Structure 1
Amino acid sequence: MKRLLAFFASGADRPPLSDRTEVDRLYRRYRIAVMTTITLGYGIAYTCRLGLSVVKKPLIDGGIFTAEQLGLIGSAIFYGYAFGKLINGFLADHANIKRFLCFGVFASALANIGMGWSPWLWAWVALWALNGWFQGFGAPAGMVALSQWFSNRERGRYYGIWSTAHSFGEGLTFVGSAALVTWFGWRAGFLGPGLLCAVLAGVMYVFLQDRPPTLGLPPVAAWREDHGAPATATAAHSIWQAQLTVLKMPSIWVLALASATMYMTRYGMNSWGMLYLQEAKGYSDLAAGGLLALNPVAGIAGCVAYGFISDRFFGARRPPVNLLCAVLELLALALMFFSPPGHPLLMAFAFLLYGFSINGLVTSLGGLFAVDLAPKRAAGAAMGVIGVFSYLGAAAQERISGYLIQQGTTLADGVRHYDFSRAIYFWLGSSIVSLLLAASLWRARVRD
């Protein structure tokens, strides 16, 4: 275990470079490489997280699993991810992100390659939970990299760009994986992303970097001359004490609950949206996948716009933009659920609006706002705390949604009929609770 931890540990600081021109050149070069790699890499790795969402209908139609059993399997990845993100978040603050992140991507790829080769329910549950654990390396590592290479006043913009990764990954999954499943069968929904991400891990290793001081560069706050409010005297003593400070902050716990309830709605749509569109709205596999793919397309704009608007127009204050995004999200959900059938353009608009707004909220409640509030040397820990609550919420949603959908399922003349009304009100209620919790942090302050 000690050797394993030593392998992942961040390197020793090198003597500082004295040539300002060289420091500027290296910072510009490495920042571009790190930003590009964590964004594209995390996005492509996301395809290993959503495979089950694409194959639910063929698994149900083939009599392999029921909706309730798929809810159990689907919840496993969220439990694995929740605790993986928490523990890996604390470890990421100490880690060489280059090794740490690439290992997680490669291990997740292997878990996907192994999916679908056993008829046993609990084998699926175990492997999907393990996949969730390894997926939990990604977000903390990316957030730590951002806090190491980008300063306070620019972090919102770059975090917004990085947050487009999950939108890109969702779109790639709902279009690419749906096509693979249509052409080659449901197992291809796991095998294709697994093989892709195994190669991706090697490519990422070439371009990622450890902390700036390990390369002889000053901390980014010193290089950019961009310091926030002092993080507290305790936080300066050690990383572990900074992490303890995070756990003592009431605002972090409120934010964690706001993110958890928001993730109930987010993953309600990610996990069950395909089945909802197929059964409640009558769309084909590819048409449903195409509509869901609009969500991440608009999400890219939502992530970037959130960071830009909150930095540029609100002085890096997140709550006003949180409220705007939450209201737009509720409007989009109302259009999706209560608009009459036969209006594809209205549904397309609803999914675009939903994608824009929910991804703005994911950008903030799912990480950026927590990193603003926490000491920067504990960015991974803050991300971990938010992550464990977010994905426990997503896991609870999976079980609750699966149960509610199963209770509304009837069989007539050998044909299943679904009633999503209970699940719909559950998803809407979760969004309203999230809005209220996030609004309670209106006066929260950014820390250094």
Structure 2
Amino acid sequence: MLFITMFCYLFFYTGRHNFGWATKAMREDLGISYTFIGWISFAMLIGYSLGQFINGNLADRFNPKYLVPIGAYLSIACNLGISFTHSPYIILVLWFLNGYFQSMAWAPGGKIIANWFKTEEQNKAFGLYTMAAGFSSAVTFGISIYITSLHLDWRMLFRLPVLLLFISATVFLIFIKASPVPLERKSKGFDFAAIKKSYSEVLGHKKFRLVCLSFGLESMARYGLIFWVPVHFLGDNWKEDPSLIWVTFLLPLGMAFGAFSFGQLSTTLFKSNYKSIFIGMLVCCGLSFLLFFMHNANLVVIGFLLIACGFFVYGPQANFWALCPQIMGRERTGTAIGTMNMCGYLFAALGEPLLGYIIEKTGNTKFLFLVISIICLLSASIMYLIKEER
């Protein structure tokens, strides 16, 4: 069941990480600013954040087998809608809705994993699950880079990649089993008292709130890299030197390997999810700072820094997800994952227009690496304080 869930999520990002690759051509075609592009990305992340808050609890109450494919099919519809419109405001609305529909997968998938694995196995399981998300970024980057290199219209970035999502969601719907034992029907309708109790327990837990704050900053750094690194390397001369865009593929590749590795490192080397997260974010802070000064270095250096940055910015996510059932218990796993992811995407959403504004004002995309370095340092500092309190 883990591998079926991973297979489905492997192609989920084809419905949202494609946007950064369409940004430059979309901006030129529709005559919009980078700041407005940042607000479009903000809208998607807010939709995703809102959806996580809602769908995490739904995963605890209803069969996650159906939530995931429903979200996938509706996300595909939004992508196709964007590919046919010429209005930036319609794109903003559809991208917001797409964010909500994309949010219907992660927490339900995490609930399935929590149902199938014991506590001592969850770090490894969530590491593999997070690795699938990392490879999903790599798959989307690879497809998007290929489409871009063929000089196809930017609208094709919203039509072709999501075909893989349609296939994987259908496979998931047919073969997945949400739990090794039959799921109990919690109620015939919405039990608002039970829902209120779930959120009260999760939001009222001080340590969990601090972990969510650190996760929010980690997500802001991660999405800042995912969204703006393609913009940085899609300069005026990329057509003369296509290697400039292919090197960006190393960023999500590093993320994928980081997710799997940190799931193992937290139990074998660091002996703690808290320490693992702290070290990962601190190292990413240093790497981002180096990228700020070395963004024009040779491709070997840039490639190494990008893959290492991806490894350390995304790897700790496996530890964050494992903390959800460990802090809040298995019964609150869906609500905890949804709440944490809501916090993460809320912070990521706030970061997009901020980075767009900074790039617009400075006239240089290299400043995104400096801002991300500061964000990573803040995330690491919070985890250090939590680690010291334990």
TM-score by length of 2: 0.91
Q: For residue 436 of structure 1, what is the aligned residue in structure 2?
A: 381
Quick one: distance in 1 between partners of 2:194 and 2:35? 46
Correspondent of 2:293 among 320, 327, 338: 338
Q: Distance in 2 between matches of 1:300 and 1:420?
A: 25
| Contact 1:76–1:125 under 8 Å retained in 2 | yes
Cα distance in 1 between the residues matched to 2:58 and 2:30? 42
Q: CA deviation at 1:67?
A: 0.9
| Distance change (3 Å), C-alpha of 1:444 and 1:368 | farther
Provide the rounded CA distance (Å) in 2 between the counterparts of 1:286 and 1:155.
41
Shift of 1:253: 1.0
Q: CA deviation at 1:357?
A: 0.7
Give CA deviations for 1:420-444 in whole Å, capped at 9, x if unaligned: 3544332221111111111122167
Instruction: For 1:166-185, list aligned pairs within 5 A.
Output: 166-183=133-150, 184-185=152-153
**Residue 26 of structure 1 corresponds to which residue in structure 2?**
none
Structure 1 residue 105: Cα displacement: 1.2
1:281-340 CA deviation, whole Å, 9 max, x = no partner?
x6558434422211222222211111112123455x201211221222122212322116
Aligned counterpart for 2:246 among listed residues 286, 290, 302: 290
Q: Which amino acid aligns with 1:307?
A: G
Contact preservation (8 Å) 1:242, 1:377 = no
Give 3-state SS (helix, strand or coil) of 1:441's partner. Answer: helix
- Which of 197, 200, 213 is residue 181 of structure 2 equivalent to? 213
SS in 2 for 1:213: coil
Q: Does 1:203 align with 2:171?
A: yes
Match of 1:247 in 2: 203
- Percent pairwise identity: 23
Residues in 1 aligned to 2:322 and 2:242: alpha-carbon distance in whole angstroms: 34
Instruction: Name the counterpart of 1:356.
Output: 311
Per-residue CA deviation, residues 64-119 of structure 1 (Å, 9 max, x unaligned), is 32211211111111000000011000111112111111111111111111113222
Determine the structure 2 residue equivalent to 1:59: 26
Cα distance in 1, alignment partners of residues 290 and 54 from structure 2? 39
Whole-angstrom CA distance in 2 between matches of 1:318 and 1:151: 17
Q: Do 2:145 and 2:246's aligned partners in 1 also have CA atoms closer than 8 Å?
A: no
SS in 2 for 1:93: helix
Cα displacement (A) at 1:355: 1.5
Instruction: Give the number of equivalent residue pairs.
Output: 380
Q: Output the CA distance in 2 between the equivalents of 1:386 and 1:247.
A: 10
Q: TM-score, normalised by structure 1?
A: 0.80
> Shift of the alpha carbon at 1:150?
0.6
Please say which of residues 379-388 and 64-73 is displaced more in the overlay: 64-73
Give the conservation status (yes or no) of the 8 Å contact 1:93–1:239: no
Q: CA deviation at 1:387?
A: 1.1
The question of whether the paired residues in 2 share the 8 Å contact of 1:97 and 1:208 is answered with no
**How many angstroms does 1:407 deviate by?**
1.5
Specify the alignment match of 1:322 in structure 2. 277
Structure 1: which 5+ residue stretches go unaligned?
1-33, 217-236, 410-418
Match of 1:424 in 2: 369
Counterpart position of 2:14: 47
Measure the CA separation in 1 of the matches of 2:318 and 2:167.
Answer: 27
**Structure 2 unaligned spans of 5+:** 185-192
Give the Å deviation of 1:392.
0.9
Distance 1:61 1:246 in 2: 45
Alignment counterpart, residue 214 of structure 2, candidates 223, 235, 258: 258
| Structure-2 change in CA distance of 1:371 and 1:64 (3 Å) | farther
3-state SS of 1:212 partner = coil
